[in-house]
């Protein structure tokens, strides 16, 4: 059985996907706008977006001929809550 966070950690493991999420934290963007900073094909960017979507970190909406991408906060809030359970261990340091 896969952990509920498996797809999220997989998505966050890649620096390009983390950068895309950081960009979306400032507001929604089209696929074309998200692709601009990267030297990769549109197909490669779309592959990154599929990984993020599978993890529930983004959602896509069609607007005319373009796809608009939105950040989904719920999975990140749940991950933050879960990692918070370890906060005391981090503060204390090694035994």
pLDDT-derived band at 91, boundaries 50, 70, 90: confident
- Assigned CATH topology for domain 6-92: Arc Repressor Mutant, subunit A (1.10.10)
Please determine, for residue 94, whether its predicted confidence score (pLDDT) is greater than 70: no
pLDDT digits (tens, 9 = 90+) for 5-56: 899 999 999 999 999 999 999 999 999 999 999 888 999 999 999 999 999 9
pLDDT-derived band at 3, boundaries 50, 70, 90: confident
Residues ≥6 apart with Cβ < 8 Å to 33: none
Map out the domains of the chain as residue ranges: 6-92
């Amino acid at each position: 059985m896969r952990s509920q966070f498996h797809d999220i950690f997989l998505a966050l493991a890649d620096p390009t996907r983390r950068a895309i999420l950081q960009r979306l934290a400032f507001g929604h963007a089209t696929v074309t706008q998200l692709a601009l900073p990267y030297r990769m094909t549109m197909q490669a960017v779309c592959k990154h977006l599929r990984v993020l979507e599978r993890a529930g970190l983004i959602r896509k909406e069609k607007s005319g001929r373009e796809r608009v991408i939105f950040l989904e906060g719920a999975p990140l809030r749940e991950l933050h809550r879960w990692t918070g359970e370890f906060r005391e261990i981090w503060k204390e340091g090694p035994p």
